[in-house]
Amino acid sequence: PWLTPSAWPSSAERTEPRMNVIINQEPRELPDGATLADALRVLEPPAVFAAAVNLQFVPRTGYAQHRLNDGDRIEIIAPITGG
């Protein structure tokens, strides 16, 4: 199970390898081997959204298989409605 960022142990308490990613211009730390689906669980995105990693759209069906790497840039994009 994932913890919210505020509930993550401090860096001194962590023993597993970590990687740094950028999610919507915010630095985040995730466990090595994390997938896009893992990152999305941390964010709790809106019900309707699109996701891109390093400016490449990732289909919803690929979130669980898309492994992230240190330094990846993830963008979560919600549609804007209006008239």
How far from each other are the two terminal CA atoms of the chain, in whole angstroms? 40
Asked if residue 9 has pLDDT above 50, the reply is yes
Average pLDDT of the chain, as a whole number:
85
Which of 53, 2, 7 lies closest to 31, judged by CA? 2
Asked if residue 8 has pLDDT above 70, the reply is no
Report the distance separating Cα 35 and Cα 63, nearest Å: 7
pTM over 0.85: no
Q: What is the pLDDT of residues 12-38, one digit of tens each?
A: 555 678 999 999 999 999 999 999 999
pLDDT score recorded for residue 15 = 60
